[in-house]
Copies of this chain bind each other. A is one copy, B any other.
Amino acid sequence: MLRFLRFRMMFNKTVGRWLDAKGPCSDVIVSSRIRFARNLGGILFPGRAGSAEREEIVQRVEAALQKLSIYNPDRFVANSDLSELRTKYLVERHLVSPDFARMVAQRAVFVSSDETLSVMVNEEDHLRMQILASGFDLAPALAELQSLDEALGSALGYAFSGRLGFLTACPTNVGTGMRASVLVHLPGLVLTREIEKVLRGAFQIGLAVRGLFGEGTDTQGNLFQISNQATLGKSEEEIVQSLNKIAAEVVGFERKARTYLLENLRRDIEDKVFRAEAILRSARLLNSHEATNLLGVLRLGVACGLLTGPGQTRGSAPTLGAVNELMILCRPANLQVFYDREMNQGERDALRAELVRSRLEEKADSR
């Protein structure tokens, strides 16, 4: 029963604060993320450690977390409490990695109550900790993660080389052990077909571009992750500065594309946006892929102010934050946790349509 209560608090119907669209440049940048990879000195990396050692790592990390003010026992979930559905729910919320979801033994995750901070234990490295921030806000996220990192590091004793920096299971993470990324919404560049050019430019200066859920996933909803590749030979601040620079350029390109579209192809854009809104408000069956894509188009309409014009008589427009939230709640595992039961695809499609409809109607009613 206690365990059940823990789940009720950890797996809930609200989404992380980083999705509130109140951060800088939220019209284009959904969120900013900083992640550190860390390992404890004197213990094998998780992939080579035995189950006793892995269990010891979980216990040591939880003990270190317990000393921090953010710690809450309800929000530290170990392997035995991580069903496939619940792990998938955490992946969909960007709180654990797809790799973490594929592991099965002696792993754990801590998630702060506002879901802006998470610490994975025994993913590829002993520790993978991240800060998620709303909008374009990398530097504050870095500062916050550095402060957590120092507190945990002094308690745990990291594996560190004076020459290489932080030691990690995979050489691509050695050095700072840091990954910085922004989740960007680029429908304007997709519609003007400039997206390839812009992403190629980012790639050429050493950044990686991926779909919504990491490597190998497609770009549903015109959402892209742009992140640094190099972790060696640069300071954390330099990495953030360089990502800041390119992300600011991408924001500029995207806004320019949107302006171009509104000035030259307004009817086509209105057609796309109003159709998307109409389907979201009316469908009785919505699969996950379609919902994400339609919400992506709706997000463009909200960001461009197309849903507040005199032609729109269906109540006030949803906010960017409400659209961000629906994008997460519509994912298969989140939908099932939201409705508190396992469902087959047909049931999910029906309840997803119902959830979207009721959320968009609420927004219309609350004017």
Which residues of A approach B to under 8 Å, CB–CB?
267-268, 270-271, 274-275, 277-279, 281-285, 350, 353
Contact = CB atoms under 8 A, between A and B. Distances in A.
Contacts of A283: 271, 274-275, 278
B284 A274 contact: yes
A275 B271 contact: no
Contact of A271 (B267, B281, B284): B284
Contacts of A281: 278
Contacts of A284: 267-268, 270-271, 274
Q: How many copies of the shown chain assemble into the complex?
A: 2
A275 B276 CA distance: 10
Nearest to A266: B284
Q: Which 3 A-B pairs have the closest CB atoms?
A: A278-B282, A278-B278, A271-B284
A267 B279 contact: no
A353 B267 CA distance: 11
Contacts of A353: 271
B278 A350 contact: no
A268 B350 CA distance: 9
B275 A279 contact: yes
A217 to B, nearest CB: 27
Contacts of A268: 284-285
Contacts of A271: 283-285, 353
A44 B107 CA distance: 94
5 contacts: A267-B285, A268-B284, A270-B284, A271-B284, A278-B283
Contact of A277 (B267, B270, B282, B285): B282
A281 B282 CA distance: 11
A268 B282 CA distance: 12
A190 to B, nearest CB: 18
Given A268-B285, A271-B284, A271-B353, 7 more contacts: A267-B284, A267-B285, A267-B350, A274-B283, A277-B282, A278-B279, A278-B282
- Among A274, A279, A283, A353, the most chain B Cβ lie within 10 Å of the Cβ of A274
- Among A278, A279, A282, the most chain B Cβ lie within 10 Å of the Cβ of A282
A284 B311 CA distance: 11
Contacts of A274: 282-284
A282 B282 CA distance: 11
Contact of A282 (B267, B275, B285): B275
A293 B282 CA distance: 18
A160 to B, nearest CB: 57
Contacts of A277: 282
